[in-house]
Amino acid sequence: MMAAVICLGSLGFVAALLLGMAARRFAVTVDPRQVALMDILAGANCGACGFPGCDAYARALVAGTAKPDLCRPGGAETLKRIATILGVAVTERPPQIAVVRCQGDLQHARLKYAYQGLQDCRAAQKLARGPKLCPAGCLGLGSCVQHCPFDALAIDSRGLAMVNRSRCTGCGLCVTICPRQVLALAPANETIHVLCNNRESSARVKSYCNAGCLGCRLCVRTAPESFVMDSFLAKVRYGYGEPSTMAEAIARCPHHCILNLDEQGNNQTLPTPHSVRERSTP
């Protein structure tokens, strides 16, 4: 009994002594600002700042080699706190959010072939440029879902990527992952978007999909301040135009590609009811 107490006691004492000495001898001095920054940063290690993880970004911030406004998931709040710690002045940048610019589900978009390979958009894209006839439509195999560090993306019942607008931080990882650039970043306070990504002419788009932008310019003619044409694809000029004229443009869009996502709740979902369109044979 006595021997056990003495033995374990002395073992513990020696261990504590060694650890205590090592802690002093091998102490690593870290800039206290770096520790404080680590607590502030989003901690998702998403890499949107261009550094491998939050730790590396914090170190670069303290060293003064990185700009303080790179943490996109953290947003304005984080930026403000980083600025306080580093003692620098910053200008806020508006928060952004990802938008899936495609409505071409299997009801609307036609297929080139039945894909049965790896369940990954980038792999599918390499096989004859993807199974969908439309070269710009969402493939729905979920590469973006797998790479989203914030669980903000999902493949919905239609087989298209869907952004959970309350979870999306606008880090932009999905935009770089998507092989067809279906996803894009847009200002978070904007709810009206053109949900098509195909710049081709109306004849081409019609042959691919019944939900694509035809380039008819109806929206531009109705609300010239709010919409611009990019080749044969309408785009929203974020931050311009009257809501009433925009609503009129939304109503006039023949393929219903302009959507006000606000009316769809928090998630980006299909407008209902969509005008019934028969799926024509390719």
Partner 1 sequence: MKSLLLIMVGAVFVNNFVLARFLGLCPFLGVSKKVETALGMGMAVTFVMVVASACTWLLQYLVLTPFNLDYLQTIAFILVIATLVQMVEMIVRKSSPVLYQSLGIFLPLITTNCAVLGLAVLNIQRNYSFVQSLVFAFGAALGFTLAMVLYAGLRERLTLCPVPRIFRGTPIELITAGLLALAFMGFAGLVPN
Does 118 engage in binding with partner 1 (CB under 8 A)? yes
Residues from 198 through 257 that contact partner 1 (CB under 8 A): none
Structure tokens at 196: 């098509």
Residues from 131 through 160 that contact partner 1 (CB under 8 A): 146
The length of the chain is 282
Does 15 engage in binding with partner 1 (CB under 8 A)? yes
Does 119 engage in binding with partner 1 (CB under 8 A)? yes
CA atoms of 196 and 145, how far apart (whole Å): 19
3-state secondary structure of 153: strand
3-state secondary structure of 7: helix
Among 26, 64, 244, 282, binds partner 1 (CB under 8 A): 26
Among 70, 123, 154, 220, binds partner 1 (CB under 8 A): 123
Does 1 engage in binding with partner 1 (CB under 8 A)? no
The conformation of residue 229, written as its DSSP 8-state character, comes to E
Q: Count CA atoms closer than 13 A to 227's CA, side-chain side.
A: 31
- Please identify, among the stretches 20-28, 92-100, 161-169, 177-185, the one whose residues bind partner 1 according to the rule CB under 8 A: 20-28
Does 114 engage in binding with partner 1 (CB under 8 A)? no
CA atoms of 51 and 56, how far apart (whole Å): 6
- Please identify, among the stretches 26-34, 101-109, 172-180, 200-208, the one whose residues bind partner 1 according to the rule CB under 8 A: 26-34
Closest by CA position to 41, among listed 30, 51, 31: 51
Q: Count CA atoms closer than 13 A to 85's CA, side-chain side.
A: 22
Nearer residue to partner 1 within complex by CB, 146 or 231: 146
Binding-site ranges for partner 1 (CB under 8 A)? 3-4, 7-8, 11-12, 15, 18-19, 22-23, 26-28, 118-120, 123, 146
